[in-house]
Copies of this chain bind each other. A is one copy, B any other.
């Protein structure tokens, strides 16, 4: 008797996110570089025109619409219009190799491709192999470039299209977006999210940044938002959706150029961004000596926030903290904001928390578990893999049941990240699961060892890998390039002695000290410049 359905079954769909923002702040600004400045009302109208235009070239429910663009207002329009039609937005990662871009677009079965003119040469190279694509649309700030790919141009199409498109009341489980992981091994893997997942992610992330009075990297209605994690990468953390819901001023920087970013922050009064450490470093390096960016708040993700970088940013008036997530998780899982009991710490002590991976946001269940599924002790030493449940995780790797099975083994999503937990519940990543060294039932973090060895004055570069050991399974091996001036002047024993200091301080166990240290002239790298640990393992095994 109590199970009756509502006469109007309210679905969690992206339309509601856009519509609340527009009715609340119709005159609020959206800015694209120094080229475009319009209001939320304009955004709303253009989203409708875009849908009409796409419908005219055959986009319907389920059509895969690929976008290759920098961070622009047009991309924001696609963020809403494409999923709101019931079509699927494929955010193409333009930083992949040409071969992988072709692979993902074929794998996704894209039918319509919106392409920034800067990527036109790239698309022209692979267009003959993109056999599912029926239409290309050019995105350009200037006039239409010469191409025999298409004569469709975005702005021209919007001008001609009706603004009276009626977005359907979709089922909330309708797929909204599709992206590909950027793992270093194998082909990119497809991950996707439905409307319900994006709406719940939007609500929870918005609340996480708004509701904690003392959270110094807060995000509320008065803030000004500019993404610095590309929009083609897991929805730019989903923050464009959060910003739109709240009716916040938004600034889109196009391609990331350090001076342009610094100028936009100052000119448009940007207060919140998110990026990988490299981008922040680039911006800081581009500042003049007395130039400051006071009032700018930056959340760092993608890889660990180095304390040195955090301090450098703080010196420039920037507030900084960490967040964590991945392509498979929509992405946000944790934010490193301070719990009530830590608010009385000194600024110095607080930074130690801001550089951690963080604390789970509402509705994220995060466990750090050993191989037997036991949760690690919260002692900052016990290591395990981060596994999660949340309302916004990819249900699978697209068309890859085998990898999906690994991803969701045991009913929890496996992140592949190895972490420790402290007594307050903060998580801190110490390694990737494929790099952690499993020695006699204990796990040794290669990253921790690398970080400690690198504090020795003679060390230029270091990599630690596990090599097979008959008795212990694996044992750590350190591979070191010494600085020119120390060549031949540093021994295996000296490095071990250096590490013993950290053993005494309790930072690592004695067991973690590598049995063997080798000195080399060069450490092998992958095509994207990361240390090639697989090659090292092969090199030194046996």
Residue among B62, B211, B245, B411 making CB contact with A362, cutoff 8 Å = B245
Is A247's CB under 8 angstroms from B210's CB? no
Is A221's CB under 8 angstroms from B175's CB? no
Q: Which residues of B contact A398 (CB under 8 A)?
A: 1-2
Cβ < 8 Å to B, chain A residues 169-212: 173, 175, 178, 192, 200, 203-204, 206-207, 210-212
Q: A12 vs B12: C-alpha distance in the bound complex, in angstroms? A: 12
Cβ < 8 Å to B, chain A residues 136-183: 173, 175, 178
Is B2's CB under 8 angstroms from A192's CB? yes
Q: Which residues of B contact A8 (CB under 8 A)?
A: 389, 393, 408, 411-413
Residue among B178, B210, B389 making CB contact with A210, cutoff 8 Å = B210
Q: How large is the interface on A (under 10, 10 to 19, 20 to 34, 35 or more residues)?
A: 35 or more
Mark the stretch among A19-27, A126-134, A280-288 that contacts chain B. Answer: A19-27
CB-defined interface of A369-405 with B at 8 Å, one 1/0 digit per residue?
0000000000000000000011101111011000010
Q: Which residues of B contact A1 (CB under 8 A)?
A: 398-399
A40: min CB distance to chain B, Å: 11
Q: Which residues of B contact A4 (CB under 8 A)?
A: 395-396
Name the CB-closest residue of B to A23. Answer: B425
Kindly state whether residue A457 has any CB partner on chain B within 8 Å. no
Q: A425 vs B245: C-alpha distance in the bound complex, in angstroms? A: 17
Kindly state whether residue A539 has any CB partner on chain B within 8 Å. no
Q: Which residues of B contact A344 (CB under 8 A)?
A: none
Kindly state whether residue A528 has any CB partner on chain B within 8 Å. no
Kindly state whether residue A340 has any CB partner on chain B within 8 Å. yes
Is A24's CB under 8 angstroms from B359's CB? yes
Is B2's CB under 8 angstroms from A62's CB? yes
Kindly state whether residue A272 has any CB partner on chain B within 8 Å. no
A203: min CB distance to chain B, Å: 5
Is B221's CB under 8 angstroms from A389's CB? no
Kindly state whether residue A527 has any CB partner on chain B within 8 Å. no
Name the CB-closest residue of B to A203. Answer: B203
Residue among B6, B340, B393, B408 making CB contact with A25, cutoff 8 Å = B340
A396: min CB distance to chain B, Å: 5
* Copies of this polypeptide in the complex: 2
Is A88's CB under 8 angstroms from B2's CB? yes
Kindly state whether residue A501 has any CB partner on chain B within 8 Å. no
Q: Which residues of B contact A247 (CB under 8 A)?
A: 340
Is A7's CB under 8 angstroms from B339's CB? no
Residue among B62, B340, B395 making CB contact with A6, cutoff 8 Å = B395
Is B339's CB under 8 angstroms from A24's CB? yes
Cβ < 8 Å to B, chain A residues 203-238: 203-204, 206-207, 210-214, 220-223
Is B192's CB under 8 angstroms from A203's CB? no
Q: A391 vs B404: C-alpha distance in the bound complex, in angstroms? A: 32
Q: A440 vs B28: C-alpha distance in the bound complex, in angstroms? A: 42
Q: A504 vs B128: C-alpha distance in the bound complex, in angstroms? A: 75
A301: min CB distance to chain B, Å: 20
Q: A411 vs B362: C-alpha distance in the bound complex, in angstroms? A: 32
Most chain B CB within a 10 A radius of its CB, from A25, A221, A247, A425: A221
Q: A214 vs B247: C-alpha distance in the bound complex, in angstroms? A: 13
Q: A363 vs B17: C-alpha distance in the bound complex, in angstroms? A: 8
Is A3's CB under 8 angstroms from B389's CB? no
27 contacts between A and B (CB under 8 A): A1-B399, A2-B62, A4-B395, A6-B393, A7-B395, A7-B396, A7-B404, A7-B408, A8-B393, A8-B412, A10-B389, A10-B391, A10-B393, A12-B200, A20-B362, A23-B360, A25-B339, A206-B207, A207-B207, A211-B246, A212-B220, A212-B246, A213-B220, A213-B222, A214-B221, A214-B222, A247-B340
Apart from the given pairs A23-B360, A211-B220, 14 other A-B contacts in the complex at a CB distance below 8 Å: A3-B173, A6-B394, A7-B413, A10-B393, A16-B362, A16-B363, A24-B339, A27-B340, A203-B204, A203-B207, A206-B211, A212-B220, A212-B221, A213-B222
User: Which are the 8 A-B pairs with shortest beta-carbon distances?
Assistant: A7-B408, A6-B395, A213-B222, A210-B211, A10-B391, A2-B175, A210-B210, A213-B220
